[in-house]
Amino acid sequence: MIYLFIAFFLTILLGVPVAFCLGIGALAFLVITGRESLLIIPTLMFSGIDSFPLMAIPFFIMAGDLAERSGILPNLVQLAKSLVGHWRAGLAHVSIVTEMFLSGVTGTAVGDAAAIGSIFIPSMIREGYDRKFAAVLTASASVMGPLIPPSVGMLIYSFVQGGTVSVAALFLAGVVPGVMVGLGLMILSHVLAQRRNYPKSQERFRIMNVVRTLKGALMGLTAMLIILGGILSGVFTPTEAGAAAVAYVLIVGTIFTRKLNFSSIVSSILNTAITSSVIFILMATAKVCAWLLTSAQIPQKCGNVLMSVSASPIFFITLVILFLVFLGFFIEAIAIMIMFVPVLAPMAGSYGIEAHHFGLVFVMAVQIALITPPVALGLFVTTKLAGIGIDDTWTEIGPFLLFLTVLTLLVAYWPGMSMWLPRLFGYVR
């Protein structure tokens, strides 16, 4: 098994794409030990892709991508503005609330960061906000994307973990922490805004405004309703909900808002194909490695070592969160999940941590990687929009990083806070 790790880490260091590092690692192991037929690599890769529940990933990516192109977003912005635009640093609050809405339609963070960032960062800079603040805030807000359902991150987790956790339960578990990320960021922006004297908008809160903008935002909100409501009521499986969301956004975008045309739909499909193929190839080779790891009982052995240090689940989950946040500085979220879920999830099981709760904490902890430079996909997008370098943000991320880490720890120590929702719907005991 040591050959697998050596080959894997060497190829990672050389900059080979992670998906192929996993494949090369497995190949090296099989060639050197000769334990199994080499045929298991293509066979397991095939079976790692060929799964109907997994098809939810391209559908949610496509629904999000089409939603951003279909002109639903400006209406959501108007609604958010009428709700919180009158506060100090109103623009910051509006961007957070808009992202909260958008998260209910999209399943990924980076797309959200690009969409929200391109709308709000230029106007924040115009109103005199710090560029660093604008970039870090929008990147942090995109953490909600994979927490508020639908969530590609949760889907990936459930498949890499081995498919024994319910995707619907994970989706539901993410709702409360997702909203808390939003609320926490609003408090944080408020504090920073007062200290730095960010501008206050002249607008007043009017209930009529809310009603009016709510009407405009109805189309976007219906997409949320289809996805979440469909899964909750058991009408849809996540895959079907994704497909229904795609169909809905296509109809709205072509008939009602008329923003979608043939060429934008085609480029959205191509985008979706490439993005999902990158994820699926990773899942395919990860399946091979996970199979080898399990058959060599590596997770159990690691678990036993750690158990001999301490049998406390609090100790284990704290260690895992800090480890994942640390890795997040250097590795991107999906790659961390693919590499560490197969080892850590069984260990969590032996510590007696409920599988869905651990999944939620894991997905949440790896999302922090969006804002931890030098490798931070969220910041990568938003700093570009703000016209600064990713290294300039070091001085600004402190409070945001601290907040997200503490919130993750809180979610980990207090399962009741997030898990009551899936329990209410009978997904988790």
Partner 1 sequence: MGRFLGERGLPFSSLGGRMFYRILNKSIRVLTILCLSVLTILVPIEVFLRYLFGKSLYITEEFTRYLMVWVVFLASSLAIREDSHISIGIFVNRFRGRTRSWINLLAQILLVTFLIFLIIEGVIALSFQMDQIIPSLGLPIFWFYLAIPVGSFLMILNLLPKIWETLKVISGKKRFEDARSSKPREEGGLL
Q: Which residues bind partner 1 (CB under 8 A)?
A: 11-20, 23-24, 27, 38-39, 41-43, 45-46, 49-52, 54-55, 58-59, 62, 235-236, 239-240, 243-244, 246-247, 262-264, 266-267, 269-278, 280-282, 284, 330-332, 334-335, 374-375
Q: Which is nearer to partner 1, 273 or 402 (CB)?
A: 273
Of residues 249 and 365, the one with the C-beta less far from partner 1: 249
Among residues 102, 180, 113, which one has the least CA distance to residue 371?
A: 113
Inter-residue contact 373 to 397 (CB < 8 Å): yes
Nearer to partner 1, 173 or 224 (CB): 224
Cis peptide before 415 (omega within 30 of 0): no
How far CA 343 is from CA of 173, 281, 303, in Å, comes to 22, 19, 9
Minimum CB separation from partner 1 for residue 296, in Å? 21
Q: Which is nearer to partner 1, 23 or 184 (CB)?
A: 23
Q: Dump strand ranges (E) for 211-274.
A: none
Residue number, 18 or 137, with CB nearest to partner 1: 18
User: Which of residues 49 and 302 has its CB atom nearest to partner 1 in the complex?
Assistant: 49
Q: What tokens were used for 371?
A: 């804002």
Q: Which residue has the tokens 């058991």?
A: 234
Spatial contact of 103 and 148, defined as CB atoms under 8 Å apart:
yes
Residue 425 CA to its chain's centroid (Å): 23
Residue with tokens 């559908």: 59
| Residue 358: Cβ within 10 Å count | 26
Residues 6+ apart with CB under 8 A from 282: 18, 19, 22, 334, 335, 338
| Nearest CB to partner 1, comparing residues 58 and 182 | 58
Cα–Cα distances in angstroms (integers) from residue 414 to residues 58, 357, 359, in the given order = 33, 10, 14
Question: Of 49 and 221, which CB lies nearer to partner 1 in the complex structure?
Answer: 49
CB of 240 to partner 1, least distance (A): 5
Q: Which amino acid is at 278?
A: V
CB of 69 to partner 1, least distance (A): 11
Rounded to the nearest whole angstrom, what is the least distance from the CB of residue 26 to partner 1 in the complex? 10
User: What pairs with residue 200 in β-bridges?
Assistant: 88
Q: State in angstroms the smallest separation of the CB of 230 from partner 1.
A: 9
**Beta carbon nearer to partner 1, 298 or 327:** 327
Check if the beta carbon of residue 11 is closer than 8 Å to that of residue 25.
yes
Strand blocks (E) in 45-182: none
Alpha-carbon Rg for the chain in angstroms = 22
CB 183 within 8 A of CB 404: no
The smaller minimum CB distance to partner 1, of residues 170 and 226, is found at: 226
In angstroms, give the least distance from the CB of 429 to partner 1. Answer: 29
Kindly tell me which of 202 and 233 has the beta carbon lying closer to partner 1: 233
Three-class SS state of 147: coil
- Which stretches of 63-142 are assigned E, i.e. beta strand? none
Cis bond before residue 346 (omega within 30° of 0): no
- Measured from the CB of residue 176, what is the shortest distance to partner 1 in angstroms? 29
Q: Which of 122, 111, 158, 115 is nearest to 359 (CA)?
A: 158
Q: How far is the CB of 401 from partner 1 (least distance, A)?
A: 18
To partner 1, the closest distance from the beta carbon of 223 in angstroms equals: 14
Shortest Å distance, C-beta 45 to partner 1: 7
Chain-centroid distance, C-alpha 167: 14
Structure tokens at 401: 């990083």
